[in-house]
Amino acid sequence: MDDPRMSIRLTLPQLPLLNQLAQPVVERLSPVTPFMAPNIDEPLITRFYNGHVAAITGAGSGIGRALALNLAQAGCNLALSDINAENLAETEQLLKEFKVTVTTQALDVSDKEAVFQWADQVVQDHGQVNFIFNNAGVALSSTVEGESIEEIEWVMGINFWGMVYGTKAFLPLIKQSVQQSNKAQNGHIINISSLFGLIAQPAQSAYNASKFAIRGFNESLRQELNIERSGVSITSVHPGGIKTNIANNARGNESISALGMATGAKGLKSFNKLLKFDPDMAAKIILMAAAKNQARCLIGDDAKIIDLIQRVFPSNYGEVMHKTTRWAAKAKKKAAAKKIAAK
């Protein structure tokens, strides 16, 4: 019998700090500063990806699907994978209007042999491969005490090891493609970490561990590739709250109720409220970051502001955010009470 805890859908920790404090700043600065408003250079994207081959995991929805559509628009051929074959077929159907070659593969990225076989198949089908977007990921909400070893292994198997397998399988093939073109073609690895690869949050120990691990892996590999001068590089991507299916596919248990966090349908609703950033724009930002060979790509004002908080308060950002969150909640209740009294 399945563990009943696995069927409970839960929310990531709330960050009202972002909306309560940052929104006025965001509204003022977004139109005028690249810190808040991304500058998308469509011609640059086309030049960098046109005529190349990109492999994408988690391409059945969300950021993965948006990446596929934007790459196809730029004239990039695609090798797509997802664990959900039905969603993957929907993505493939959306790509019919573009004059690019598209291949698909139902794939569990936590299966090492399957990932390596897929990589070889991509080269066999397309003759080359230039980019790998390791995008597939899952979430788990639980206290450390409340989560099982099996749940932690599930998160790490997909989020971390899936990324490792994808990188290890595709890196030599990407290098080979670039070298065979005498470096006339581009080569890049894009690994999706998270806002929670920059800061830790309660009830997210497994997810945090996987995303911090991805960040460390990416930063080490980038230094190696820079030294090698092979024509291949890597970008570490840290999205904030993007409108994807991660909340609907998340796992968790009741242990987080001890932290005052919502569970069940209420928790799922709260989680989805945090996911506001358009995945299409997120994809464009990622493609720009790789084309410009950025080491790190932050997506969304929430990610940028939280990154800043972590830099200012590196040792006690958690305490600062917790206190600010409590203050914001009290201020919200006070404002609501004033509204009622004024009626």
Of the residues 49, 165, 207, 317, only one is catalytic, namely: 207
- So what's the pLDDT on residue 306? 78
- Judgement on whether residues 340 and 239 belong to the same structural domain of the protein: no
- Judgement on whether residues 49 and 162 belong to the same structural domain of the protein: yes
- Judgement on whether residues 106 and 243 belong to the same structural domain of the protein: yes
Active site residue 49: no
pLDDT tens per residue, range 256-269: 777 777 665 554 45
- Judgement on whether residues 280 and 340 belong to the same structural domain of the protein: no
- Judgement on whether residues 236 and 327 belong to the same structural domain of the protein: no
* Total count of domains within the chain: 2
- Judgement on whether residues 263 and 335 belong to the same structural domain of the protein: no
- So what's the pLDDT on residue 313? 83
- Judgement on whether residues 90 and 173 belong to the same structural domain of the protein: yes
Domain around 331? 315-343
- How many angstroms separate the CA atoms of 21 and 39, rounded? 24
- Judgement on whether residues 337 and 255 belong to the same structural domain of the protein: no
- So what's the pLDDT on residue 167? 98
- So what's the pLDDT on residue 243? 63
- So what's the pLDDT on residue 321? 73
CATH value at residue 242: 3.40.50.720
- Judgement on whether residues 331 and 251 belong to the same structural domain of the protein: no
Q: Are 51 and 287 in contact (CB under 8 A)?
A: no
- Judgement on whether residues 321 and 218 belong to the same structural domain of the protein: no
Reported pTM: 0.82
- Judgement on whether residues 251 and 333 belong to the same structural domain of the protein: no
- Judgement on whether residues 217 and 293 belong to the same structural domain of the protein: yes
Where the chain has pLDDT below 70, the residues are 1-37, 243-250, 262-276, 325, 329, 343
